[in-house]
Structure 1
């Protein structure tokens, strides 16, 4: 009887949370002609995960300003649907879909080879795609899957496309993550359950979140190292990190106590279209990362060295 009562109470709380989320859900942003400022005709943008969430709205807003927009997506069916919606909303037909599966470094290299062959320049590279709650298993590349999708694959992708970015003094945007620590520890790299957490983890969802936050923290740290290296070799290529307070990764959580937390995050934080407008305003501004390097130079160099080794990248 006690167990049934707990289940009933939890179900009631979950249903109430869903109802409140729906009640306060913001109306989706509809593009208006007056918003098509900053003419981006002749510019090329690549958005990973551009078929949904923040990535979709970023793609829509760049396309509305005339940019050639490349949606780098794993699911081509969803990407086609997104492409149709963007064309309908912006009247810009210069939207291209290219397959990119961050869980496979082979497809990352294939994607980059295709882009290098087809594009003369890249003005904006937006590493938006990410994933959480993937469990503890390795990819075909021998990397922990959460780390590969959220850090190693974007790291490799950016390195392979640098020449096209340097050609036009492009901009790199790394979307980090909610609550990421912005600090990575070398012992945690490519691990699912870091040493300092191992004795405390009692639920697989918590372990998933720790892996996600640590991988995003590595992406944040590497952004400064990219900026430092490009500051000496890449001309005027700018690097940004963006830490949005909303995303749609909570869609992977269907049940369990943590689902309630995600529903409340969905209610309280800005919607993806709002975050996307902030991101676009940032990359169209003159802002950039001006502080090169870290307080811990050894950490920066060692993270870069280990990352290159794990993705088999010669630099």
Structure 2
């Protein structure tokens, strides 16, 4: 009996400490203190209605940025804007509809931006899906490949002229450390992928690295960051709803919050990075070495050419 008593007491104590650490304002893993303002700067954030995207929108609004929240769901985007407005009255928050599953939606979004925005200083490619049940999009592509890579490829390229016009400007890819476990099957972007999330993120890394090379000297810098494991809705398809009931509290206690996970992105969006481009950054915004799997330039070019063909960019 005494063993169980001590074990129970130990669990309660450990849980209490975890909760206290999570709730206290002094416990912030990786929260940065960059205070530079973004006044008169326009930023697009994809997937800004929840998670890291929403937290990034909040932080940039605090710095007086004009934030275009590119989201698929209008109701969720408006709810996110309402939440942000409870915290800060600074900045502008504008919802624009964007569904990265649909090339038609991407083209319509970009046309709207080009027609109504004079400047675009930062593009944050944040939206993603993870462990989604197998599905093909209306463009006959596997959903992870469409949302996590091909949609980003088309979106970014269609906005390049506006980014060049607004230079110095920057493009930020929110990637994942899991991309190093991916493998791109260039023969099949329609079928079930081996590791859908990792494979699609690797494809996007190939694009980011080739893009950085092509944009040298244009005034547009390209940065790629992996935020690490963060407590967001990204993993909602990873376990069943019943298990989520158990897993979510554990995630809340053990993983960094969306606010904490957004800080590296905010840092890349705000600070003066000089002439840096084409680099890889970790969750705290620290520069890291690119994994070997993403270092072959011939693969970057091949990924670009295939993406150009499948999105009918030209």
**TM-score normalised according to structure 2 size:** 0.78
Runs of 4+ in 1 over 6 A off after TM superposition: 260-263, 291-294
Corresponding residue of 1:281: 267
What is the aligned length?
277
Alignment CA distance shift 1:101-1:250 (3 Å): same
How has the CA–CA distance of structure 1 residues 188 and 135 changed in structure 2, closer, same or farther, with 3 Å as cutoff? farther
What's the counterpart of residue 30 of structure 2?
none
> 1:185, 1:229 → 2: CA distance?
21
**1:172 is the counterpart of 2:171:** yes
Displacement after TM superposition at 1:184 (Å) = 4.1
SS in 2 for 1:187: coil
What is the Cα deviation at residue 191 of structure 1?
5.1
Query: What do residues 51-73 of structure 1 show as CA deviations (whole Å, max 9, x unaligned)?
Result: 11000010001011101111111
* Contact map agreement 1:182 1:221 (CA 8 A) in 2: no
Name the structure 1 match of 2:284.
Answer: none
Structure 1 residues not aligned, in runs of 5+: 1-15, 198-209
Tell me which of 211, 217, 222 is aligned to 2:207: 222
Aligned mates of 1:67, 1:129 — CA distance in 2? 20
Q: Distance in 2 between matches of 1:36 and 1:286?
A: 11
How far 1:297 sits from its partner (Å)? 2.5
Q: C-alpha displacement at 1:85, in angstroms? A: 1.9
Relative to structure 1, the CA distance from residue 177 to residue 264 in structure 2 (aligned partners, 3 Å threshold; closer, same or farther) is farther
Equivalent residue runs for 1:189-228 within 5 Å: 190=189, 192-194=191-193, 197=194, 210-228=195-213
Task: Specify the SS of the correspondent of 2:86.
Answer: helix
Q: Deviations over 1:155-187 (max 9, x none)?
A: 110000011111122110111125221764343
1:95 to 85, 93, 97: 93
Deviations 1:4-44 (A, max 9, x none): xxxxxxxxxxxx9xxx69964834979xxxx7931211100
1:270 aligns to 2:289 (yes or no): no
Alpha-carbon separation, structure 1, partners of 2:242 and 2:81: 36
The answer to whether the 8 Å contact 1:36/1:64 transfers is no
Q: Does residue 1:62 correspond to 2:48, yes or no?
A: no
Which moves more between the two structures, 65-74 or 264-273? 264-273
Residue matched to 2:141: 143
Partner of 2:302: 302
Give the distance between the partners of 1:217 and 1:60, measured in 2 at CA: 28
| 1:132 positional shift | 1.9
Tell me, in whole angstroms, the C-alpha distance in 2 between the residues paired with 1:148 and 1:308: 13
Over 3 Å counting, the alpha-carbon distance change for 1:190 and 1:27 in structure 2 is farther
Contact 2:224 2:279 in 1 (8 A): no
Question: Which residue number in structure 1 is paired with residue 3 of structure 2?
Answer: none
Is the Cα–Cα contact under 8 Å of residues 130 and 238 in structure 2 kept in the other structure?
A: no
Go from structure 1 to structure 2 and tell me whether the alpha carbon gap of 1:182 and 1:229 turns closer, same or farther (over 3 Å shift): farther
Q: Corresponding residue for 2:220?
A: 237
Structure-1 separation of matches of 2:208 and 2:174 = 10
Kept after mapping to 2: 8 A contact 1:170/1:237: yes
Once residues 38 and 124 of structure 1 are traced to their aligned partners in structure 2, the CA distance between those partners, rounded to angstroms, is: 15
Judged with a 3 Å threshold, the aligned counterparts in structure 2 of structure 1 residues 213 and 261 are, in CA distance, closer, same or farther, namely farther
Deviation per CA, 1:203-247, whole angstroms, max 9, x where unpaired? xxxxxxx10111011111211111000015xx2211111111124
Task: Determine if contact 1:173/1:241 at 8 Å carries over to the other structure.
Answer: yes
